[in-house]
Structure 1
Amino acid sequence: MARFGGKNGSRKYLIVLSCIALLGIALVADFLWASSSSSASSPYWSSNLDLSLETAVGSGASYKPEQVKKNSKAKKEQISEGLNATFADIPAPQLIWEEMAEAPVPRLDGAAIQIKDLLYVFAGYGTIDYVHSHVDVYNFSDNTWGGRFDMPKEMAHSHLGMATDGRYIYAVTGQYGPQCRGPTARNFVLDTQTKEWDDLPPLPFPRYAPATQLWRGRLHVMGGSKEDRHEPALEHWSLAVRDGKALEKEWRSEVPIPRGGPHRACVVANDKLLVIGGQEGDFMAKPGSPIFKCARRNEVVYSDVYMLDDELKWKELPRMPKPDSHIEFAWKIVNNSIIIVGGTTEKHPVTKKMVLVGEVFQFNLDILKWSVVGRMPFRIKTTLVGFYDGWLYFTSGQRDKGPNNPSPKKVVGSMWRTKLLHL
């Protein structure tokens, strides 16, 4: 057997060891590369990153705080890329939309009521620091804006409840002022023929964005948020009204709604009262802020649908295709179907940002079934909707950041319309 010895032997020995070491390093590197490629191509690769980071920190490895912060941000971005940015969109046909004359001002959380060929558009935020206190009118016959007039100075500027009997418009409670100021209990009625306002008895308590509708001769107000703007309210009150006048001095307590909260559609159809979608929780005023600056709180968006009928008991109907909120004036009844346009749904699972809705939903009242009948030109919340001569219109609200980013950005006043076919 040969024996290594002397300088030559030592040198040969070192060369052999070096080759073995290099081969080992190459094999390890190849293994790590393969593992990385396999993880990156897997739909669960983001979970593997989570585990790796937690393991590194939890095992006592040398990990500086700034490294954790940097890696956490990178991980969040990678996860976002791994998810479809439009994850909440439901497949739907792309409707053909036509852009019409833009509203005189942009609006967020405004209100709207249609009477014949006129759409009365009320109040709303222009910016977080400025709210409107007037009414603009859109004429569907000639597709023009005009006829602006003022609201009462004491009337709420956003988060209103509203209903009409075909001439008089009843405006109920809501938020008074910009940012996240408190609600008012004041209520008003507008005679659309004379443009004159009158008072109605105040609510027992102020509310934000309650579900509001005229049903069987009574003005019904349900749910919404309580005075802190965040806590859901369950109370349900009604007031007898006729021809713009209250027939009672006080509101009557009715059966409470099963689930409270603001930003719901409230519809009377086939002599039944329906309340659709909405949320629990909302922004609150920052404690101690002299301007009532808004501070985010947790929100839960839901898809619940409730109905009140002859038995005066709330019944659950089939849920919406997905949770939807900010839809109190985003609906119309078309051919015995309720059409709902846009809104907000559950937050993005990674960024936790609000996700806007870009679908048009149909609830067929004959068979009590939901479907998605189209896609909007962009996702948007707090739309103000009208329907005239076969055309579905929407205006105002806060739209998305683009096709691949469903979070809210710009408050708009644009008006769009599309033909609804096969309904």
Structure 2
Amino acid sequence: MAKFGGKHTPRKYVFLFAVVALLGIVLVADFLWASSSPSSSSFSRYWSTTSVSSLDNVIGVGSAKGKQTKGKLNSDKAKISKYLNATFADLPAPQLEWEEMAEAPVPRLDGAAIQIENLLYVFAGYGTIDYVHSHVDIYNFSDNTWGGRFDMPKEMANSHLGMATDGRYIYAVTGQFGPQCRGPTNRNFVLDTETKVWHELPPLPVPRYAPATQLWRGRLHVMGGSKEDRHEPGLEHWSLAVKDGKALEKEWQNEISIPRGGPHRACVVANDKLYVIGGQEGDFMAKPGSPIFKCSRRHEVVYGDVYMLDDGIQWKQLTPMPKPDSHIEFAWVILNNSIIIVGGTTEKHPITKKMVLVGEVFQFHLDTLTWSVIGRMPFRIKTTLVGFWDGWLYFTSGQRDRGPDDPSPKKVVGCMWRTKLRL
């Protein structure tokens, strides 16, 4: 019989000590392992396979004793889950002063956005899982108003788009056509923002979901993303010569494959270098035989890898993000020789297995190729659409968390927020 201070220790304290000790051992072991690993993702992978079963074994669920204390076990799991919500998901960061602006005409998830001077062009996206948008809304940073709505081509993808601009023309590449988990299209379009006229570009060799896309050295580059089943990562990399909204070639050319595939990554050109940041491997798939392509969950691995292409011949792997981050393809801006990334999703909660949203603002310093956490958002949110104007950092749309103590996703929103950002 265990004793403490010369007296018998109540059974409930023995149980609590055992749970705390187990948690401590696992955390220390994982910390020692992670300290020698190039990726912080080892922590959640370890917990996702051991945490719940280990806690069950402590109390002996299924035994007579276990049945008597099942309620206690659930209570302690909830406490540990809340503890992990605060430590696993959130990094220390200052709370920025955010101001809520005019809300977007419609809520959007997995939409796209491109800023040209004082205008933010916001495209497509889910309104709900069963409804997708097929139009463009424009936010004017000068007077902080929405307006100028116009339609997209009916054949253009409604979400998971790749997108880039040369300052007048916006190139929209591949993506998912329709709601739920419907299939992708390989059709590509270009918008003249001065005339609001669309033209079609040569199709991709094969369709992709949410590929990394950017204009670099006169060519439109498209790489990674998910393959036609929406889940398997693609590694292919293609490019097409373009100028003034027109393709100079009839077919896409093969380029050096990206070392790690997958969708939902930031793709940025800065200082004549091409950067691909964050992302994930795997995604929801259409449920087999579903007539409406209802989504079914699949295993996903979120990562914070950073790759750079500066010579067109070889990818270089750089310092990873402070934590794994996905759903950030339009959540970035370039500011003062750095890349700012807002929100996203990180690895799933190790106990509940729910998606965990990101509430930090990250800065990638292009001179030192290192990362900082420079602020916290008003709430955690994924697939933000980000812009910067006159000293203000803006974000709109996406899917936000359930509250300060629950980082899992809930409501699709169209809100617009801004904060004064000085670097």
Q: Deviations over 1:64-92 (max 9, x none)?
A: 9x889877755643431453445311101
Say whether the 8 Å CA contact 2:19–2:55 is kept in structure 1.
no
Where structure 2 has 5 or more consecutive residues not aligned to the other structure, the ranges are: 1-5, 27-50
Larger radius of gyration: 1
2:33 is the alignment partner of 1:54: no
Matching of residue 395 in structure 1 with residue 396 in structure 2: yes
Q: Map 1:32-47 onto structure 2 (within 5 A).
A: 32=11, 34-36=13-15, 38-39=17-18, 44=23
Percent of aligned pairs with the same residue? 77
Q: Which residue of 2 aligns with 1:380?
A: 381
CA drift of 1:249 comes to 0.5
1:204 aligned partner, one-letter code: P
Is the CA contact (8 Å cut-off) linking 1:118 and 1:140 kept in structure 2? yes
Contact 2:237 2:254 in 1 (8 A): yes
RMSD over aligned CA atoms reads 2.4
Greater Cα shift, 318-327 or 85-94: 85-94
Task: Please tell me whether the aligned partners of residues 85 and 406 of structure 1 are also in contact (alpha carbons under 8 angstroms).
Answer: no
Q: Is the 8 A contact 1:39 1:45 kept in 2?
A: no
C-alpha contact 1:103 1:396 (8 A) present in aligned 2: yes
Question: What is the CA–CA distance in structure 2 between the aligned matches of 1:362 and 1:199, rounded to whole Å?
Answer: 36
Change (3 A) 1:78 1:232: same
Would the alpha carbon gap of residues 35 and 160 (structure 1) be closer, same or farther in structure 2, given more than 3 Å must change? same
Question: 1:337 corresponds to which residue?
Answer: 338
The residue correspondences of 1:346-365 to structure 2 (distance < 5 A) are: 346-365=347-366
In 2: Cα distance, 1:242 partner to 1:55 partner: 65
1:369 shift after superposition: 1.1
SS at match of 2:11: helix
TM-score norm. by structure 1 comes to 0.88
The answer for the alignment partner of 1:135 in structure 2 is: 136
Contact 2:15/2:59, CA 8 A, preserved across alignment? no
Equivalent residues of 1:379, 1:400 under 8 A apart: yes
Shift of 1:367: 1.2
The one-letter code of the counterpart of 2:11 is L
Distance 1:226 1:141, change over 3 A: same
Q: Secondary structure at the match of 1:408?
A: strand
| Counterparts in 2 of 1:389 and 1:56: CA distance versus 1, 3 Å | closer
Structure 1 position 28, deviation (Å)? 9.5
Does the 8 Å CA contact 2:85/2:407 hold for their aligned counterparts? no
2: distance between equivalents of 1:368 and 1:243? Answer: 32
In structure 2, what is the Cα distance between the partners aligned to 1:299 and 1:34? Answer: 38
Structure 1 residue runs without a partner (length 5+): 1-26
Q: Secondary structure at the match of 1:158?
A: coil
Q: Distance in 2 between matches of 1:54 and 1:256?
A: 45
- Report the counterpart of residue 90 of structure 1 in structure 2: 91
Match of 2:409 in 1: 408
Which amino acid in the other structure matches residue 187 of structure 2? R
Counterpart CA distance in 2 for 1:287 and 1:68 is 40
Pairwise CA distance, 1:238: 0.3
3-state SS of paired residue (2:215): strand
Letter in 1 for 2:280: Q
CA change 1:54–1:312 in 2 (3 A) is: same
Q: 1:197 to 1:82 in 2, by over 3 A?
A: closer
Distance 2:191 2:55 in 1: 63
Contact 1:86/1:405 (<8 A) preserved: no
Structure 1 letter corresponding to 2:219: R
What CA deviation, in whole Å up to 9, does each residue of 1:229-274 have, x standing for no partner? 0000000000000000000000000000000000000000000000
Q: Note the C-alpha offset of 1:106.
A: 0.3
Supply the distance in 1 between the matched residues of 2:320 and 2:403 (Cα, whole angstroms).
28
Equivalents in 2 of 1:278, 1:86: separation in Å?
22
Output the CA distance in 1 between the equivalents of 2:269 and 2:388. Answer: 16
Cα distance, 1:168–1:79 mapped onto 2, change above 3 Å: same
* 1:194–1:34 CA distance, 2 compared to 1 (3 A): closer
TM-score (norm 2): 0.88
Between the aligned partners of 2:282 and 2:334, the Cα distance in structure 1 is: 28
Q: Is the 8 A contact 2:326 2:345 kept in 1?
A: yes
Q: How far apart in 2 are the matches of 1:288 and 1:150?
A: 32
Instruction: Quote the residue 2:234 is aligned against.
Output: 233
Q: How far apart are 1:34 and its partner, in Å?
A: 5.0
Question: How many angstroms apart in 1 are the aligned matches of 2:207 and 2:69?
Answer: 46
Q: In the alignment, which residue of structure 1 is the partner of 2:106?
A: 105
Distance 1:393 1:56 in 2: 49
Deviation at 1:298, TM superposition (A): 0.4
2:313 aligned residue: 312
Q: Which amino acid aligns with 1:32?
A: R
Q: Distance in 2 between matches of 1:373 and 1:99?
A: 20
Q: Which residue of 2 aligns with 1:295?
A: 296
* Separation of aligned partners in 2, 1:242 and 1:355: 40
**Counterparts of 1:31 and 1:68, CA distance in 2:** 14
**Conserved 8 A contact 1:168-1:192:** yes
Separation of aligned partners in 2, 1:191 and 1:390? 27
Q: Measured at CA, do residues 77 and 238 of structure 1 come closer, stay the same or move farther in structure 2, by a change above 3 Å?
A: same
Give the deviation of 1:193 after TM superposition: 0.3
SS of the residue 2:374 aligns to: strand
Could you tell me how far 1:31 is from its partner in structure 2?
5.0
The residue number in structure 2 matching 1:267 is: 268
Query: SS at the partner of 2:316?
Result: strand
Could you list the per-position Cα deviations for residues 166-195 of structure 1 after superposition, in whole angstroms to 9, with x for gaps in the alignment? 000000000000000000000000000000
Matched, 1:327 2:306: no
> For residue 42 of structure 2, what is the aligned residue in structure 1?
none
Q: Report the Cα distance in structure 2 between the residues aligned to 1:330 and 1:372, rounded to whole angstroms.
A: 15
Q: Which amino acid aligns with 2:301?
A: V
- C-alpha distance in 2 between matches for 1:395 and 1:191: 23
DSSP-derived class of the 1:361 partner: strand
Deviation at 1:416, TM superposition (A): 0.6
Q: CA deviation at 1:44?
A: 3.0
Q: CA deviation at 1:317?
A: 1.1
**SS of equivalent to 1:83:** helix
